[in-house]
Structure 1
Amino acid sequence: MSLKPTTALMDFSLINKRQRACLSLAVVGLLLSAPVQAVIPTPESLVTTGELAFEPSPAAAESLTEMPIVSASSGEQAKSIPNVDVDDKQNKQAEALLAEWRYQVKEDHLAQHLTWRRLLYFLDDKTSLFNKDVSKSLIDDPTFFLSDSSQQNSQQNSQRDGQQDASAEMDAMLVALSEEVAASQGMNSHGANLHSSSSHSKTSANNSVICRFPARTHWLAGILGIDSHHLQADCPAFDDWMTMLAPEQLSVMFAEEYLDSPTSAFAHTLLRIDSKASVADPSQIHHAYALNDTVDGNPDDAFAIYALKSTIGAYSNVIEIDPYPMKLAKYLKDDERDAWTYQLDLTPEETKQIIRHVWETKDLDIPYYFSTDNCASEILRLIDVVRFEQNLRAQLPYAVVPSDVINLLDNEGLLLDARYTPSDSTVRQAQSNKAKTATDFGYRASTKNAARNINSTEYNLMSSMSDDLETVINHGIVASDNNPVDRHPLQMAQVSIGQRGDNSYIDLGLRSGFHDTLDRTSGFPQFFSLEALDARLRFYDTDGDDDELDSLVLENFTVVRGRSFNPINTDSRGKTWGASIEATRVNDGSQESGRDHLVGSVGYESGWSWAFGTPRPGTGEMPPQLCYTLLSGQAQAGRGISKGFRVGAGVNMGCRYQINNQLRAQAQLQLPYWYHGGSGESNVHGHYWQPISTLGLQYDIDKKQALRINSSYEWQNRI
């Protein structure tokens, strides 16, 4: 490989015998050439020590002492010797460094080290749905790699691509580093100014390998024992960025689920970058920054297209670095979502290394997968870069949601103190609760106008953030019971026994997420209801007596079903609504033999809800009991039902009662009116009412286990 001429690292004494110098140079050229060094074992004398990048062997040292140089101390130029100049010495120094580093890399198998592969975005993922067992970098941007298919690797004498081969990229990195280290040391020894203020010098410096890949350089320097003084470079862009962020500590911020925005329905996580000032006083958020990994989607796309592209990786991710107050205000004030912040158990040096790696990757086009490679998984990937032994990302299931990441970090002992920050609606609700308590105990009289002013977003401007959005204000509100660390697992298995008419059955179910209104409430937003990818198989014990029932059926497959409750008598802002997409078994009331048909179903609800009861003292929680009335519309299609379809409209009414911390009950009455279209058959109805009443009861055994009783009855004379 042809090496760029550089300046020598070391100064040696000049002797007067020209013939001896020429002979020595020949010996040095042989001993220090890259091909020879690549195969000759490196003695301990070549290991990096002290101020020099390497310690030469006695023979090499004797020869090198006869090289003519420019003395850095005296500034006097030695006598000129033919074919020996500064460029030659610098070139040989780079070759010597490269040979030493290659030997150590080979001996310690450093090119396959997990940290190196993660720095290159080799995920080595055994669980990812889209990238399982893919042994290449997820990044296809050529600017991220020094080794490409056009470069020839001098060590292996083969052409390799850095995206496909971590070893090739390691070697290309070593080549570049050896040249820059030799050049910088040579310039230092000859009094060159490395910190030129000219625009051209800064542009060139920003493009150096030390400036482009500071995380790779830092890791290699530590593991190869390269003295940090030999890696000095003028990196204006990177240095200004690090000065702005001043990273000392990282925390994970969790913004709770927000059903009124479909893209926020599964919650959100981001990293808070703290400087020394915000570490000393966490309320001084204007000294902190937010590192947010999100989808770079097209806002003009319809929601269905947006969701599909986000799921299949058709959009890229984007890394946003913003002042932390701006991001926090979006969640607390705009969306009115409570936030939890957890300090990560990382050292300041690990924090800086993560930020160095972010610098290397922040401008790259990386596919974004809503369910697998998203804001939550990226946090684990960054921690894995500095904690390779914990292998956090590989511990996640196929679908990754923010609360899973919080629970995993907690289980791994990586979360330190937790800080709760109530949203604006929670602050208003806390005031409302306090005023109602004072009224109930006769401390003060309440008027409708006073209550209206508390609930009004126009008149009540109290918030957890100061008016200048620079400080978090503590209003003394007790933390709500929505800390995601306390929630039940999102993936739930279900085993049920039941009776339908004269037939008994067993249900086996699996729900990927999230939570329904009967589930254990701790860790979730109040009245939260969202289920996704829920499948249930039913085994009937018919004994051959019922020809209408198969012994094994798919009872239900829910793609998504949820309800957003915003009670009108609370400080929660928004409307109450619900939606569902599922395949489910229904009874067709239009005909006598219309039992048990599998149909595809889409539904939407909108209406009102009310909360009642006494909330926990000192909190901003709403009252614990809930009732609702929803106007509903549904469309269903399936081969077994009359005309192959039916559409319905009606009313759904229900109440959920929190009996105690472990026991809840829910009752609901559905009043749909179905229409199939006209029929010429006298015994087939084209339209009809089909009321359905349901009752549910759940008792929580612990965080992971519960007992539930469900019953339903269809008030239709043909069923």
Structure 2
Amino acid sequence: MAIPRSAFFATLWLLLLFSPAKAAPPSQPDLLIARARGVGLAAERNWHILLHYKKTSGGFKSRISDPHFFLSPRGRENPEAELEATIAGFFQPPAGDNEHPICRFPARLQWLKERLGIGPGDLQEVACPAQKELLQTVDARSAVLVFPVGHINSPASMFGHTLLRFDGPTKSNLISFAVNYAADANDSNGLLYAYKGLFGKYKGYYSLMPYYLKVKEYGDLEHRDMWEYRLKLSQAEVERMLLHTLELERISSDYFFLDENCAFNLLFLIEAARPTLHLTDRTGLLVHPTDTIELTKQSGILEEAVYRPSQGARIVKMASLLDGERQKSALELAQGRTDPSATASAGVSVQEQRGILDLAAEVVQLRYGRKELEKDDYNKLYLKILAQRSRLGKGEDDTYAVAPPPPPDAGHRTTKLGVGGGIRRDEWFGEVRLQPEFHDMLDPDQGYIRGAQIKFLESALRYAPEHERLYLKRMHLVDIVSTAPRDRFFTPLSWKVAVGWDTEAMKDGRDSLIFRVNTGGGFAARSPWGGILHALGEVDLNAGRRFAGNVAAGPGVSLGALEQLSGWWKLQLRGEGFYYLLGDDRVALKGTLAQNFRLAQNDSLSLELSYQEVQGHPVREANILWNRYF
């Protein structure tokens, strides 16, 4: 029996309608995501480095807080979600303005290509003109870790700074590019600045810029010497570092002065170059710029340091070769008060003329950098000095060479434990002293700024066995001193501030624990032996039960001398006097002779003798401490 034609087509239509549909083939992103899941790519260290992930009690969290750094809404705390969003993002339709994920995340792309076998034809063509131009301009072949030393008159910069430099094929590294990480901080209020910096209220940014701008900023404007350490990295590793740097430009993260700072965040870039280095995992509770040097040195990737003296160091060297009268002549030339031809007067040798004119030219550049001269005035004065100088011949090449001081990695570590004892008022005592951070005026100078002190939470505990008494000698929350020498060319102010508890003699001669805020300002100068002399006017505010109204305050003065007698012997003389007018009527005078003997890089012996007189009550004290830095 023949099946009607209409019934046949109706049956065929029903079969097609209700038959199971064949699944569409998986897309390329889905295949890659499945492959990434299969090999556990999201758990690999390389991925965690590129996203700055660190372990937390509940999993992982990136140290970068900017949501623009993540392609997944959960990317900051979910490595797998961010990995899959990144893979999918690379297959998005092309977008303009260099905003496609392929343009934004070149280091991620390079790594995923290697790990997942993504070929040239697997991804669509995306133009990234800005990235391409920058890579060609930088042309990174090697990398250098740069350490500008601390700025003596800036507490935030007393620890120093670190940045990285990418060197290309050219011989001059001034036209190289540098990557810097710094806080976007413009507050002029010191207390607000400290609060925001300590509690992460500032945003930190990576930035890529010509290296000569950083040399001008640190070496010429702030007079900070710079140390340059070439890193033992291959060109391929340096290129990975640069690609990750491009990912981080204009991306913010929370900046903390004491740990998540320039030193810590630059370590991620070095790890991106060579992931087998566990640098960020080896940092402590506090991270200093010198820790970057220490960690890279321990990892075996640091070459010998190269010293770049600041403009201030060059001027000091030039001035040291002239007597006072010739220095005065150079300053008058730099100020435009005398004509350069006047240097050729009778009695001035050719060598002295060269020195006067060279020093004057350097000071003119200094004045222009300080914006004391307009550009036209600068050009006229500078060229006039150079014209006179050109008549005198070249001179010796190394005349103004600045002898390199000990490099930062030659200095002691930043935590100090002192153990020892002494005698006070004929009573013996044992003492344990802890200085968690950073550097005491009497500590060995190698690798640190001479004349600068910055300490946090320094504590001294004493035990007097004769009376079986344990007591707190001091606990200073902060103790900062800056004695910056002045001369004809530089006129910085010296200052100090200290806050904390001290056990001090009262007007009846008995000791009492008081809370103290001490601050002052004044001047410092170089001594004839190369040390520092200072004189400060001070105000001392005390709080304690022994005072009327529990508060006492008075003006005072302090004088001091600091001498580095040899590479291992340091001497300090201090004298101070206070006259308390509010809440107390005592007069306190004190003289101290302190010495430090450097036994090794992280060991020293300190000896201190002091005599104090309070309202006619004498207090003699001597102590000796062995100090270990760690």
Q: Distance in 2 between matches of 1:212 and 1:488?
A: 42
Q: Which amino acid aligns with 1:510?
A: L
Decide which of 125, 137, 144 is 1:251's aligned counterpart.
144
Provide the secondary structure at the position in 1 that maps to 2:115: helix
Q: Which amino acid aligns with 1:218?
A: Q
Partner of residue 596, structure 1:
512
Larger Rg belongs to:
1
Q: Distance in 2 between matches of 1:452 and 1:634?
A: 45
Offset, 1:239: 2.0
Q: Distance in 2 between matches of 1:124 and 1:573?
A: 49
Q: Distance in 1 between matches of 2:450 and 2:362?
A: 24
Q: Distance in 1 between matches of 2:526 and 2:422?
A: 33
Q: Distance in 1 between matches of 2:433 and 2:557?
A: 28
Partner of residue 700, structure 1:
598
Q: Distance in 2 between matches of 1:110 and 1:667?
A: 62
Q: Deviations over 1:572-597 (max 9, x none)?
A: 552333222232222222xx264222
Decide which of 492, 497, 500 is 1:579's aligned counterpart.
497
Decide which of 593, 610, 623 is 2:526's aligned counterpart.
610
Taking structure 1 as reference, are residues 556 and 256 closer, same or farther at Cα in structure 2, changes over 3 Å only?
Answer: same
Offset, 1:671: 1.4
Say if 1:202 and 1:235, in contact at 8 Å, map to a contact too: no
Offset, 1:173: 2.5
Say if 2:318 and 2:355, in contact at 8 Å, map to a contact too: no
Say if 1:638 and 1:644, in contact at 8 Å, map to a contact too: yes
- Is 1:424 the counterpart of 2:305? The answer is no
Q: Which amino acid aligns with 1:509?
A: R
Q: Distance in 2 between matches of 1:354 and 1:538?
A: 51
Partner of residue 113, structure 1:
44
Taking structure 1 as reference, are residues 461 and 208 closer, same or farther at Cα in structure 2, changes over 3 Å only?
Answer: closer
Offset, 1:690: 0.9
- Is 1:631 the counterpart of 2:556? The answer is no
Q: Deviations over 1:419-460 (max 9, x none)?
A: 2111112112222333469x9xxx988999999877768756
Q: Which amino acid aligns with 1:266?
A: F
Partner of residue 177, structure 2:
289
What stretches of structure 2 of length at least 5 have no aligned partner?
Answer: 1-15, 327-346, 370-377, 380-396, 619-630
Partner of residue 371, structure 1:
258
Q: Deviations over 1:294-338 (max 9, x none)?
A: 1112x2451210111111011111223222111211111111111
Taking structure 1 as reference, are residues 166 and 417 closer, same or farther at Cα in structure 2, changes over 3 Å only?
Answer: same
Partner of residue 289, structure 2:
402
Q: Deviations over 1:363-388 (max 9, x none)?
A: 22311111111111111121122322
Partner of residue 326, structure 1:
213
- Is 1:226 the counterpart of 2:99? The answer is no
Say if 1:432 and 1:454, in contact at 8 Å, map to a contact too: no
What stretches of structure 1 of length at least 5 have no aligned partner?
Answer: 1-22, 34-91, 126-131, 149-160, 184-200, 545-550, 614-622, 678-685
TM-score (norm 2): 0.79
Q: Distance in 1 between matches of 2:55 and 2:198?
A: 21
Partner of residue 492, structure 1:
416
Say if 1:516 and 1:529, in contact at 8 Å, map to a contact too: yes
Taking structure 1 as reference, are residues 378 and 715 closer, same or farther at Cα in structure 2, changes over 3 Å only?
Answer: same
Say if 2:183 and 2:204, in contact at 8 Å, map to a contact too: yes
Partner of residue 552, structure 2:
646
Provide the secondary structure at the position in 2 that maps to 1:388: coil
Say if 1:202 and 1:236, in contact at 8 Å, map to a contact too: no
Offset, 1:518: 2.2
Map of 1:650-665 to 2, 5 A cutoff?
Answer: 650-665=556-571
Q: Distance in 2 between matches of 1:163 and 1:363?
A: 17
TM-score (norm 1): 0.70
Partner of residue 306, structure 1:
193
Offset, 1:107: 4.0
Say if 1:354 and 1:386, in contact at 8 Å, map to a contact too: yes
Q: Distance in 1 between matches of 2:484 and 2:67?
A: 49
Offset, 1:517: 3.0
Offset, 1:218: 0.8
- Is 1:477 the counterpart of 2:397? The answer is no
Q: Which amino acid aligns with 1:285?
A: L
Partner of residue 712, structure 1:
610
Instruction: Name the Cα RMSD after superposition.
Output: 3.4
Partner of residue 9, structure 1:
none
- Is 1:524 the counterpart of 2:448? The answer is yes
Say if 1:594 and 1:641, in contact at 8 Å, map to a contact too: no
Offset, 1:539: 2.2
Q: Which amino acid aligns with 1:390?
A: L
Say if 2:153 and 2:484, in contact at 8 Å, map to a contact too: no
Q: Distance in 2 between matches of 1:448 and 1:454?
A: 10
Q: Which amino acid aligns with 2:298?
A: N
Say if 1:453 and 1:459, in contact at 8 Å, map to a contact too: no
| Residues 485-494 or 340-349, more deviating | 340-349
How many correspondences in the alignment? 552
Partner of residue 347, structure 1:
234
Offset, 1:228: 4.4
Taking structure 1 as reference, are residues 673 and 609 closer, same or farther at Cα in structure 2, changes over 3 Å only?
Answer: farther
Say if 2:563 and 2:572, in contact at 8 Å, map to a contact too: yes
Say if 2:451 and 2:562, in contact at 8 Å, map to a contact too: no
Say if 1:338 and 1:422, in contact at 8 Å, map to a contact too: yes
Taking structure 1 as reference, are residues 570 and 114 closer, same or farther at Cα in structure 2, changes over 3 Å only?
Answer: farther
